Amino acid sequence: MRSRAPIYNREEREKLREASRFNAQLMDFIRPHIKAGIKTEEINTLVHNYTLDHGHVPATLGYGGFPKSLCTSINEVVCHGIPGDQELVDGDIVNIDVTTIVNGWYGDQSETFLIGNVSDVARELVQVTFDSLWAAIDILTPESKVYDIGRAIYDYVKPTGFSVVRDFQGHGLGRSFHQDPGIPHFPDARYKRDALRPGTCFTIEPMINEGHHGTEVDRTDGWTARTSDRKLSAQFEHTILMTEEGPEVLTLTKDGPQRGHKF
């Protein structure tokens, strides 16, 4: 593969930081509402209104026909879950994926939340997924290859018996939602030559399944991706800016889990 990722200058990097700061603020705003008894449509309304009230744009709304202002992916849903009438209940895990356009620039991140008393396997899956994200971030240096990200995630996850989703990946970010470089979360040899040069912005967002890595997209709504075996899936995502000194995590929250967090 040959990446055509934009290389951002100092002024553009500040725009990326601004968008990501608001996106992290949005995640912290919604955080206390993610609990048993709330419907995913109610989460959507809160996210939508908060974003508009601050003068920004919910990036997912209308994107490729997606009908809501965030993705809510519960239990066996890998990604792109559509908010609706489903109510969160004790024992669920749910990924909250928010993306915002701030003055024409995108910020993007997601977290998986544990609702009440979850099973041991659910907690372990969420922990492994979170730790795999940081395993990838922590190996990055200027001129790292995209391949190194997938290798780090795969090597971390494989001994646990869980599996790394291959059908969806991270992506470049900037004035567009999805652009180069593509970021697979498994060691794909096609990406051994793609360097993450200073000024490159991208997401790392491993999706880790309890069982098989396969996924199926709902034929009715065309969006909701579920595990092929209907076992659990978890995901975490950060937006990363590669600088001359190394990776800068743009979407760190004040109230959310930090590197080393134990669920």
pLDDT tier at 4, thresholds 50, 70, 90: confident
Residue 178: Cβ-neighbour burial (10 angstroms; 0-12, 13-18, 19+)? middle
Q: Is residue 94 part of a domain?
A: yes
Asked whether residue 244 carries a pLDDT value surpassing 90, the answer given is: yes
46: closest CA among 72, 12, 78?
72
Residue 4: Cβ-neighbour burial (10 angstroms; 0-12, 13-18, 19+)? exposed
User: pLDDT averaged over the chain?
Assistant: 97
What is the predicted pLDDT for the residue at 107? 98
Asked whether residue 1 carries a pLDDT value surpassing 80, the answer given is: no
Distance CA 128, CA 236 (A): 10
- Average pLDDT over every residue of 61-65: 98
For residue range 188-238, list pLDDT tens digits in order.
999 999 999 999 999 999 999 999 999 999 999 999 999 999 999 999 999
pLDDT tier at 263, thresholds 50, 70, 90: very high
For residue range 136-178, list pLDDT tens digits in order.
999 999 989 999 999 999 999 999 999 999 999 999 999 999 9
Q: Is residue 4 part of a domain?
A: no
Q: What share of the chain is helix, strand, coil (3-state, %, to 5)?
A: 30, 25, 45
Q: Is residue 260 part of a domain?
A: no
Whose tokens are 């949005």? That residue is 26
Q: What total of structural domains would you count in the chain?
A: 1
196: closest CA among 230, 162, 242, 153?
242
Q: Is residue 259 part of a domain?
A: no
For residue range 74-124, list pLDDT tens digits in order.
999 999 999 999 999 999 999 999 999 999 999 999 999 999 999 999 999
Asked whether residue 2 carries a pLDDT value surpassing 80, the answer given is: no
Q: Is residue 256 part of a domain?
A: no
- Helix, strand, or coil (residue 102): strand
CATH number at residue 21: 3.90.230.10
Q: Is residue 232 part of a domain?
A: yes
What is the predicted pLDDT for the residue at 143? 83
Q: Is residue 84 part of a domain?
A: yes
Distance CA 212, CA 226 (A): 11
Q: Is residue 255 part of a domain?
A: no
Asked whether residue 10 carries a pLDDT value surpassing 70, the answer given is: yes
Contact 151, 256 (CB under 8 A): no
Contact 100, 58 (CB under 8 A): yes
For 48, the domain range is 10-249
Q: What is the pTM of this model?
A: 0.97
Contact 196, 144 (CB under 8 A): yes
Distance CA 189, CA 86 (A): 40
**Could you tell me the CA-to-CA distances from 47 to 23, 64, 80, 235 in Å, in that order?**
10, 19, 16, 19
Q: Is the dihedral of CA 189, 238, 66, 77 positive or negative?
A: positive
What is the predicted pLDDT for the residue at 50? 99
